[in-house]
Amino acid sequence: MQDKIKRTLTDFISSLQAARIYSTEHPKFTDIIDKLYADLQDIFRERKELIIGIVKGELAFEHFIFFDLSKKLKPLILYLQERGVERIVFYNTLQKEELVKFLTILTTPQESEHRDFGGYFSLLGIKNIQAGKIKTPTPELKEKVKKLRDYLVEYESSLEKVNQYLQKVIDQEELDYLELRYEVLNFLENMIGIYQEFLDLTTFRRKDLITFVHHLNVTILSMHISSKIGYYRDDMLDIGIAALFHDIGKLYISRKIIQKTDKLNEEELSLMKHHTLIGAEILFKYIDTLGTLPVVVAFEHHLRYDLKGYPKLAFPQRPHPTSLLVSICDIYDALSQIRSYKKSYPPLKIYNAMQRQKGKAFDPELLDRFFQIMGVWPVKSIVSLSDGSIAVVREQNDNDIFNPKVEILSPKKKRGLVDLKRKRLEIAEYLDPFGEGKEYLRMISPEHQATPA
């Protein structure tokens, strides 16, 4: 449903733009209004009304906030707010003529912000659209918008800084170590324990910073895991900095090669296998600033636990524990994220793929501890259960990584918190949040959380 709502919102804004640029009789406006009306009719097959709100400058449908769309359409959102329109209701008996009249009113220069829209629409024969000021949002909705916006701002700010630090090292420029350590400390204080929220926010990532999303995620995940394992704060900061620069050699070689959508040829593969050496050489120049750990991790993160990776060593020795940790986080995040060359892996497939490399690519004890912390099914995973119910993972069971505590979302009569370890239920399937699980996203926010069943 969210995809349909998003498409309808986009076409509504396009219709508003067309009405402002052309007349409502213009063929271009007619084409767009036909598309918008068809979108609404598609939605009305499933519901009797569509309510769109503007909450603190963000487009919202029920409890789903369209941050990415709001950002693109900010000038038009302000245009609506200036006219006193913060809430629009379309009813399923809507006629196309009403839609045209509505857009005409919105785009006619007048003091709309002082108008009683309800009475005015009625006089014009518009009975199936309501518009005006939004009722005071609930404290829960206000808090959710603020929380998500804060996460988004923090994430984008972190991406910008990651970009700056990596670019400085690639360009061999001087680094301010105290500033870098302070920023990583901010990551530590603000992000530890909310790694999943950052996975959610990758859907809002800017295309010009997409290369750095993975570096930031690996940094946050490495610190998250090290905090759960019991590392001291200073050690966690060192691990975070090493994780941040672990793939600097790959960035240095060629962004074109990294972003290729087809397979790398032999020459490109050979060049990429040298990125660990190049990364270590680059970071060695910063050893007085960053210390030795980033050099070691950049050199070793593809070495593997069994030493069968690269680069080949004349005198093999087991990789540093931080290299082994970053390697696990690196692969886990790569498999978790949607890439240009493959679809995302569901959680069970990620777990099975990594388990096949236990004792080979990965330290067995460290891999076990990693999944004990993350679980097979990460918090906020939307899943179907063996009885056909739809649920969201709320909490891990440390001693049973396959059976977390979940909240049943559907059907309504079964809603509530369930500990799968204690019930005769199991997870049958993962629902992709970008696909079949998307319609349940609005139901997993904190204000929807249920009491134990």
CA–CA distance from 177 to each of 244, 289, 372 (Å)?
13, 6, 34
| Residue 267 dihedral angles phi and psi, to the nearest 5° | -65, -40
> Strand, helix or coil at 390?
strand
> What does the pLDDT read at residue 299?
94
Which of the two residues, 75 and 116, has the higher pLDDT score? 75
What is the model's pLDDT at position 203? 41
Report how far residue 50's alpha carbon sits from residue 61's, in angstroms, rounded to the nearest whole number. 8
R_g of the chain, CA atoms, integer Å? 26
Domains and CATH numbers, the chain: 2-137 (no CATH), 140-373 (1.10.3210.10), 382-448 (no CATH)
What pLDDT does 293 receive?
A: 95
Residue 151 to residue 157: CA distance in whole angstroms: 10
Inter-residue long-range contacts of 169-178, CB under 8 Å, 24+ positions, other chains counted: 169/245, 169/248, 169/282, 169/283, 169/286, 170/248, 170/251, 170/252, 170/282, 172/282, 172/285, 175/286, 175/289, 175/290, 177/289, 177/290
Query: Which residue, among 259, 253, 243, 305, has the nearest Cα to 277 in the 3D structure?
Result: 253
Please give the structure tokens belonging to residue 370.
């990693």
Residues 6+ away with beta carbon under 8 Å from 110 = none
Q: What angle do CA 140, 146, 152 make, to 5 degrees?
A: 135
Is residue 353 a contact partner of residue 345, using CB atoms and an 8 Å limit? yes
pLDDT on residue 446: 46
Give 131's strand partners. 88
pLDDT tens digits, residue range 107-132? 776 544 445 555 567 677 788 888 77
pLDDT in tens, 404-425: 999 998 888 888 889 998 888 8
Helix (H, G, I), strand (E, B) or coil at 46: coil
Residue of higher predicted confidence among 301 and 113: 301
Report the Cα–Cα distance between both ends of the chain, in Å, rounded: 28
pLDDT tens-digit readout, 232-267: 888 988 998 999 899 988 888 765 565 555 666 777
